[in-house]
Amino acid sequence: MAASGAAITTVLGAPAPLRDRVAIVTGGNGGIGSAVCRHLASLGARVVVNYVDDPAAADDLVSAINAGYGGATRAVAVEADVSDEGQVRALFDAAARSFGPTLHILVTTAAVMDASYPSLADTTAQCFDRTFAVNARGTFLCCREAARRLVRGGGGRIVTFSSSGVGSLRPGYSAYLATKAAIETMTRILAKELRGTGITANTVAPGPTAAPLLYAGKTEAELATYTAEIPLGRVGQPEDVANVVAFLVSDAGEWINAQVVRANGGNV
């Protein structure tokens, strides 16, 4: 297996279309985030796994990715709260120290959702503020930092995360879905602002996906309702979403820009 720093043309015998591209994935130790990290690494990318809690999960993910390269350093874990401006800057600096100054890909999966409030009238200001701090402000801070660095590097890919719930408007999720609607708008404007730089900015909006955010606080009956609403007859798997991200950040996705891709099995 090739050593760290060498040009890798295949990963485990398969083509490596993201060979040596550097990717930061926020919330990289989460359900969807970890699938994105594994998939990008399998395509040859060097991956920065951002996390804010559960460092053991982040370390296990990094170890698994590196083991696939014979122990070479192809992934690193970096703790950072994306709602904090200084920590976001430190996250990007850590990526540069680990894999060089050129960044190619940013994927922002980090998010929080508190489903314990049944309506907007019941939602606390503290819940609202925290949800916007992580989801909307965190995406803003990471996109701003990436846009500056990707321009210096000559182009790249930004993929933010929304939710297909923005379209369905399910009661009880006003704060969470408001942040996701803001992310969709912000990303589309960003794509226009980056005209001529070679940078694309798109949003992936998953439907119900088998990840911690889906299961938190829900009964079996509620989960069954989600499944019944999906024409394909199942909730999504994190790998389903990771496949969409991989396409958008690849050369094959270079003509997709300023779009919201609703990866939801037809749950519209």
Task: Write out pLDDT tens, residues 106-117.
Answer: 999 999 999 889
Q: Quote the pLDDT of residue 76.
A: 98
Confidence at residue 129, expressed as pLDDT on a 0 to 100 scale: 98
pLDDT tens, per residue, the chain with 268 residues: 233 333 334 455 556 899 999 999 999 999 999 999 999 999 999 999 999 999 999 999 999 999 999 999 999 999 999 999 999 999 999 999 999 999 999 999 999 999 889 999 999 999 999 999 999 999 999 999 999 999 999 999 999 999 999 998 888 999 999 999 999 999 999 999 999 999 999 999 999 999 988 887 778 888 888 889 999 999 999 999 999 999 999 999 999 999 999 999 998 7
What are the catalytic residues?
A: 176
Residue 108 lies in a domain: yes
Number of folded domains that form the chain: 1
What pLDDT score does 4 carry?
33
Structure tokens at 93: 């600096």
Rounded to 5, what percent of the chain is helix, strand, coil? 45, 15, 40
Q: Which residues contact 106 (CB under 8 A, 6 or more apart)?
A: 23, 24, 26, 142, 143, 146, 150, 156, 157, 158, 159
Residue 3 lies in a domain: no
pLDDT at 116: 86
Q: Is residue 9 part of a domain?
A: no
Give the pLDDT score at 268.
72
Q: Which element (helix H / strand E) includes 107?
A: strand 105-108
pLDDT at residue number 14:
56
Could you tell me which of 63, 67, 55, 58 has the C-alpha nearest to residue 34? 58
Output the pLDDT for position 240: 97
Q: Are 202 and 181 a contacting pair, CB within 8 Å? A: no
Confidence (pLDDT) at 9: 43
Angstrom distance (rounded) from CA 213 to CA 211: 6
Please give the residue range of the domain that contains residue 178: 16-261
Say what the pLDDT of residue 8 is.
39
Residue 68's CATH number = 3.40.50.720
Taking the C-alpha atoms of residue 173 and residue 119, their distance in angstroms, rounded to an integer, is: 7
Distance CA 63, CA 265 (A): 32
Residue 11 lies in a domain: no
The answer to whether the CB of 142 falls within 8 A of the CB of 99 is: no
The dihedral formed by the CA atoms of 205, 211, 216 and 219, expressed in degrees to the nearest 10: 100
Q: Is residue 266 part of a domain?
A: no
Indicate whether 4 belongs to any domain.
no
- CA proximity to 194, closest of 148, 231, 160: 148
Give CA–CA dist 105/17, Å, rounded: 13
Sequence-distant (≥ 6) Cβ neighbours of residue 88 within 8 angstroms: 80, 82, 138, 141, 142, 145
Is residue 217 within 8 A of residue 115, CB to CB? The reply is yes
| Residue 2 within any structural domain of the chain | no
Residue 258 region, left (φ>0) first, then alpha (ψ -120 to 50), else beta?
left
Residue 8 lies in a domain: no
